[in-house]
Amino acid sequence: MTELFDADTHVAPASFADLAGSLSPYWRDYAAGAALRADPVQASAYPPAMVDGPAPHDLASLRAAVLDAPGPGGARTGTAVLTCTTAFDVSRNHAFEAALCRAVNTWTAQTFLDHEPRARGSVAVPLGDPAAAVAEIEHRAGDPRFVQVLLPVRGHDLRWGHPVFRPVLAAAAAAGLVVTLHAWGRVGSAPTTTGFTHTYLQDYLSHGQVAQSQLVSLVAEGALGALPALRVTVAECGSSWLPPLLWRLDKEWRGIRREVPWVDRPPSRYVREQVRFTTAPIHLPRDPAELRDALDVLGAAELLLHAGDHPHRHGDGAARLLDALDPAGRAAVLHGNAAGWYRGAGAVVPHVPAPAPVRHAPEVPR
Amino acid sequence: MTTIDSTAATTRAPARRRTRTPIVDADIHPVVTPDRLAAALPEPWRRRFLRFGLRGAPPPAVYPRVRHGGMRRDSHPAAGPPGSAVRPPGSDLDLMRSQLLDPYDVVAGVLIPMQGHTAGAEEPAFAAALCRAYNDVLVTDWLDPEPRLRASICIPHESPAEAVAEIERRAADPRFVQVLFPSGTFLPWSDAKYRPIYAAAAAHGLPVAIHLGGTEGHRGDGWPSFYLEQHAWYGNAVAVALTGLVAGGVLEAVPDLQVVLVEGGVSWLPSLLWGLDDAWELCRDDVPWLTRPPSEIVRERLWFTTQPIDEPPVPAHLATTWEQTGMTDRILFSSDYPHWDFDDPITALRVLPAALRRPMAAANAARLYGLTLPGGDDD
């Protein structure tokens, strides 16, 4: 039976007390004075209806809920990428954010990675200060247990492809770390172009659209092209929206590529080579024939990475996916794709080029 | 390829075909020139317009189109006498006839005056005067001389009371077939502020057509840097907003409202419908007013236009995807004349099987807009 590679399972400190040992006295006092707490709901991201309890905050609960629990088809978990999004929901204070990310990553290492060889870590990085994000990536790059850098799909005023963030992407690529765009993030920034929503449902589904904005940005700004070693995982944002996005993007690129001369291949080629998607959630039709068509159009067996996404609830889309895949496709999604994607664990990590220049200057059109 | 190659000949009017394929074009962009607008404005708005202009930045200023200003190269009317005003694409009815209405057997074309997208967000009284003037010019310069044309009502959409008044003013003219609303608004479409507009449109049996444009705002999705980025993602802006219309209860609150999403694409719809139904099952307590799967509501209330038609690497995937919408009888052909990514009424839909594409050419739109097609041929 295929051993599972779970590309997205959540952990979270139960409170700021869990992080206190990794925060300086100044930031401990700051957090206490502001009555900050490590809220498992993360503002509006994970309300009670959408979770099966809190994310594990210690090794015993992680083992019980994920690592030692039977996965799809009763399979055991061989590797699990731990995602801690506690630092997503923070103030605009970038200095605090940097301290919090450092503490979260240290907590992940000390609580889980030091004791559990099946666990891999995600590097939380401060988004309000790209230089501090680069410093955090470089601080963790030599620790092979960290396999990805975590960016919220709802970010700042600029999309992740913008040159401001290029050093962050370059540092990740140079270290062989996947950059994972994960659902939620700056919930103080509305997910729509026209402001705040009235329902959770709209915020929940908006991640697919916002993820598309980030992929378009990574292509159009030349980030994927300039950093061929960069690998991007889109986590918890869906994936069945991908084909129509690529059709439109390829067509428009053919028409107006003059505007982005550094994009010298059809956008779909960058995306299909350098981007993967987790399976929680995946939105698919219920009719079996339509389902097979949808997976064919998507190229599901090549693009998808299994994610248990404990403790988040997403319905039965992933189960429908696994039922519809053939054995080879199922093995690829449950294990093979991720094992070839993340460093270590048999990954074929591409040759790491020299770090890109800190200042990215698009080539002047000829 | 249906995009216009800039190296093509400067005029591109195809020969008139012997066989008739009636076309209803659901998206044609007229332009009202500043001199025509000024002439139609009463004081003090004429002086305000002439001395202070319009304040909103239209999307082409934010994301410059780098070939021919985003227009078909051959769509620029011939210059007038020396010293006369610039005549932008879309401002000349004769050229529109010779490039679109005549050669393609367009039996009806729906004008979508995008200038209202930004004018409608001006100060309320000024916005009302501007939109009234745009509509007056549409009547005198387009609808009166060309019986094949229909128009969308420009409204001061950020000032609902004035918008409702303009809808009331035009509703008796059957040549105005819908109310125009932009994708870029100050608040989400589902906000209570806009409900009176939807209610007024529905009360007069007019669909609300939501077209891309308006005030450009980005929050958690981040600002794009390039037109490619912004334009390729436009469908997603529409998808986000459609989710809001459904989840925000607008369609339940205004039960007679029909909504046409123009130029936002179609192919993203199946994935969104699957997501809506999955999310609805998980979020029933979040949206207690939704008592049935959202896809059912969308299939009863929404309409879509074809342009820009997608070109998948496996062409058959387009028909597969559009059939998965379960609402191909609510997809309307649109050309987007005179924009650069104009879709040819004859060739653009050929990638689809005939049985699928034929109703999109005219019959679906005739049903929505209450048009009579020649010969009673409804497909």
Q: Which chain B positions have a beta carbon within 8 Å of A268's beta carbon?
A: 313
Whether B275 sits inside 8 A of A256 (CB atoms) is no
CA-based nearest distance A286→chain B, Å = 8
d(C-alpha B311, C-alpha B303), whole Å: 21
**ipTM score over 0.90, yes or no:** yes
Q: Which chain A positions have a beta carbon within 8 Å of B278's beta carbon?
A: 281, 283, 314-315, 317
Whether A255 sits inside 8 A of B3 (CB atoms) is yes
Return residues 169-188 of A near B (CB < 8 Å): 185-187
Return residues 132-171 of A near B (CB < 8 Å): 154-162
Backbone angles phi, psi at A154, to 5 degrees: -95, 100
Q: Name the residue among B189, B218, B232 with its Cβ closest to that of A249.
A: B232
Domain ranges (residues) in chain A:
4-339
Where in A207-348 does DSSP place strands (E)?
Answer: 232-235, 275-278, 304-305
| Predicted TM-score (pTM) of this structure | 0.92
- Give the chain B residue nearest A293 (alpha carbons): B320
- Give the chain A residue nearest B277 (alpha carbons): A283
In the predicted model, is pLDDT for residue B303 greater than 90? yes
DSSP state of B337: B
Q: Which chain B positions have a beta carbon within 8 Å of A202's beta carbon?
A: 240, 243-244, 247-248
CATH class of the region A4-339: alpha beta
Whether B311 sits inside 8 A of A247 (CB atoms) is yes
In the predicted model, is pLDDT for residue B13 greater than 80? no
Q: Given CB atoms, is A297 within the 8 Å cutoff of chain B? A: yes
Q: Given CB atoms, is A315 within the 8 Å cutoff of chain B? A: yes
Half-sphere exposure of A193 (CA within 13 A, CB side): 25
d(C-alpha A19, C-alpha A296), whole Å: 45
Q: Exposure pattern of B261-291 as b/e (b: 16+ CB <10 Å)?
A: bbbbbbbbbbbbbbbbbbbbebbeebbeebe
Q: Which chain A positions have a beta carbon within 8 Å of B231's beta carbon?
A: 252, 256
Q: Which chain B positions have a beta carbon within 8 Å of A238's beta carbon?
A: 271, 275
Which tokens belong to B331? Answer: 């997809």
- Give the chain B residue nearest A238 (alpha carbons): B275
- Give the chain A residue nearest B214 (alpha carbons): A194
| Nearest one of B217, B137, B215, B132 to B167, comparing CA atoms | B132
From first to last of the 366 residues of chain A, give the pLDDT tens digit: 679 999 999 999 999 999 999 999 999 999 999 998 888 777 788 999 999 999 999 999 999 999 999 999 999 999 999 999 999 877 789 999 999 999 999 999 999 999 999 999 999 999 889 999 999 999 999 999 999 999 999 987 899 999 999 999 999 999 999 999 999 987 777 888 888 888 999 999 999 999 999 999 999 999 999 999 999 999 999 999 999 999 999 999 999 999 999 999 999 999 999 999 999 999 999 999 999 999 999 999 999 999 999 999 999 999 999 999 999 999 999 999 999 999 986 554 444 444 444 443 444 333
Question: Which of A248, A265, A269, A291 has the most B C-beta neighbours within 10 Å, making it the best mutation to test the interface with B?
Answer: A248
In tens, the pLDDT along B310-361 reads: 999 999 999 999 999 999 999 999 999 999 889 999 899 999 999 999 999 9
